[in-house]
């Protein structure tokens, strides 16, 4: 793959700049699929006022690299970029961006969804919600595990 | 030397983000290290570190079984991840 | 669905502005999936210097609206936006953008891919490639029909 | 009145982007209209308008069979779409 970019930081990000970066230097892109995740205003009916995001520096970047490499083994990709914020975030804030470029849309869509599913279940990030209810560490969703597992049953998309 | 790290809920429950331990100059595996930590820090640590869904990583790679450790290794304990 | 936006025009577009527009007024977004299509530099080994895009004014917008409505029947969507350029384009130019917002990523990904698959096979746009080889009207790809048809076998995702 | 439109390759092959026809004050269906266009404009139009993969739309909705037309209808002929 020509371009791989992985960034974990506190600052907000600009999706247009990230998409330009994804394409920079490519000569044959046809398709870009992206995903942006936002901090929810409520979770299971809890009103969230602040989200704290913790990560495991070093391992986080490594695990994202491994996820992208696995996606590139499965689909013909030209570029992939992941940005994940950490620290204190507010409802409505951007939290994660995944962008994938390919010559064809099916590869771009599948790889983008694959990377998100694995990011949710393999990359060492942890969310804590703060609000009128106090503080709660967010629990892992069984549904996220199921979504990641389905790629194993379906390894030749 | 061994570096032991705790993250997120585990870090808060132990009130400890990490420890540095001398290499014991003998063979050491992950489960033995965990048992030593529990023995040294009491029942509260044992309750936490033996939780069913605990994830353990050695040198930033998740391990699902016991494994040999080496001088200089970085060992981490953390709960299931919830990013994205 | 709270926001639907459909635009067919000659001018280029800005993905960040489109994504902001998609979210404007929403109070509970969690996930945005987008797709951007670009003019390929070569197609079947033909070097393309210019792409001309023709459409059927009126029917184009109607058919995109129908596609979005069908997506909204299948998945819980908050907003969907489609921009498609017409006129003369150059290799590397942006040609189409689809953005979908939902509270959950599975709905956003699926609906975005569904809309693209149907756009390719149902919306009245036609591409003509110009280059050293002369002029060629692009042929419909059987593969695009197959991709659109698979949503019919799988109507409860 | 009837409005008949041609797009893309069909428009170029016919060298015609559209026609306006008087409503015939009688019943008229899509296939009869097509036959009238072919009869009036000669074999080249017949060859083109009867191509296997021709798509026909009435009032901006694709129709796959014959259908009744009404005064004021907009009829379009075009090749398979290739946008996106």
Question: What ranges do the domains of chain D cover?
Answer: 2-78
List of chain B residues whose C-beta atoms are within 8 Å of the C-beta of residue A127: 82-83
Size of interface C-D (CB pairs under 8 A): 72
Predicted local confidence at residue A141, as pLDDT: 87
Mean pLDDT confidence for D12-25 = 96
The answer, yes or no, to whether D and C have at least 3 beta-carbon pairs within 8 Å is yes
pLDDT < 50: residue spans in chain C:
156-157
Predicted local confidence at residue A42, as pLDDT: 78
Distance from CA of C92 to the nearest CA of A (A): 7
List of chain D residues whose C-beta atoms are within 8 Å of the C-beta of residue C141: 82
**Residue A157 pLDDT greater than 80, yes or no:** no
Angstrom CA distances, C123 to A62, C31, C65, D62, stand at 43, 26, 10, 10
**Chain D interface, Cβ < 8 Å to C:** 5, 7-9, 12, 53, 57, 60-62, 76, 78-84
Asked whether the beta carbons of residue D78 and residue C84 sit closer than 8 angstroms, the reply is: no
Predicted local confidence at residue C42, as pLDDT: 78
Structure confidence by residue, pLDDT tens digits, A107-127: 999 999 999 999 999 999 999
What DSSP character marks residue A45?
A: T
Distance from CA of C28 to the nearest CA of D (A): 29
Topology of the domain covering D2-78: Ubiquitin-like (UB roll) (3.10.20)
Q: Give B54's contacts (C-beta < 8 A, 6+ positions apart).
A: B10, B77, B78, B79
Mean pLDDT confidence for D62-82 = 97
Asked whether the beta carbons of residue B83 and residue A126 sit closer than 8 angstroms, the reply is: yes
Predicted local confidence at residue A154, as pLDDT: 59
Predicted local confidence at residue C71, as pLDDT: 98
Percent of chain A with pLDDT over 70: 97
Chain A residue with CA closest to C148: the answer is A106
The answer, yes or no, to whether B and A have at least 3 beta-carbon pairs within 8 Å is yes
Tell me the H-state helices in chain C: 15-23, 59-74, 105-122, 142-153
Structure confidence by residue, pLDDT tens digits, A27-81: 888 999 999 999 988 777 789 999 999 999 999 999 999 999 999 999 999 999 9
**Model pTM?**
0.94
Predicted local confidence at residue C154, as pLDDT: 59
Structure confidence by residue, pLDDT tens digits, B36-78: 999 999 999 999 999 999 999 999 999 999 999 999 999 999 9
Q: Which chains touch A (3 or more CB pairs under 8 A)?
A: B, C
**Residue A155 pLDDT greater than 90, yes or no:** no
Element (H, E) at B8: helix B8-14
Arithmetic mean of pLDDT over chain A: 93
Distance from CA of A16 to the nearest CA of C (A): 5
Strand order in the sheet with A79-85: A3-9, A79-85, A94-102, A31-38, C31-38, C94-102, C77-85, C3-9
Burial of B83 (0-12, 13-18, 19+ CB in 10 A): buried
Distance from CA of C29 to the nearest CA of D (A): 26
Predicted local confidence at residue D13, as pLDDT: 97
Asked whether the beta carbons of residue A127 and residue B82 sit closer than 8 angstroms, the reply is: yes
């Amino acid at each position: 793959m020509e371009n791989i970019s992985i960034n974990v930081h506190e600052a907000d990000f600009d999706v247009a700049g990230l998409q330009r970066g994804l394409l920079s230097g490519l000569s044959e892109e046809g398709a870009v699929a992206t995903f942006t995740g936002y901090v929810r205003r409520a979770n299971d009916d809890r009103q969230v006022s602040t989200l704290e995001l913790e990560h495991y520096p070093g391992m986080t970047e490594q695990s994202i690299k491994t996820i992208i490499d696995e996606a590139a083994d499965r689909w013909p990709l030209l570029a992939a970029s992941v940005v994940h914020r950490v620290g204190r975030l507010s409802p409505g804030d951007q939290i994660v961006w995944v962008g994938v470029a390919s010559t064809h849309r099916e590869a771009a869509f599948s790889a983008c969804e694959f990377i998100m599913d694995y990011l949710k279940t393999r990359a060492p990030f942890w969310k804590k919600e703060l609000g009128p209810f106090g503080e709660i560490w967010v629990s892992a969703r069984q549904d996220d595990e199921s979504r990641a597992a389905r790629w194993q049953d379906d390894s030749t998309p | 030397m061994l570096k032991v790290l705790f993250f997120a809920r585990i870090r808060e429950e132990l009130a400890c983000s990490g420890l540095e331990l001398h290499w014991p100059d003998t063979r050491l595996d992950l489960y033995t290290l965990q048992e030593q930590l529990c023995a040294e820090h009491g029942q509260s640590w044992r309750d936490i570190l033996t939780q069913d869904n605990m994830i353990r990583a050695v040198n930033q790679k998740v391990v699902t079984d016991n494994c040999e450790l080496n001088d200089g290794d970085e060992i981490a304990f953390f709960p299931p991840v919830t990013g994205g």
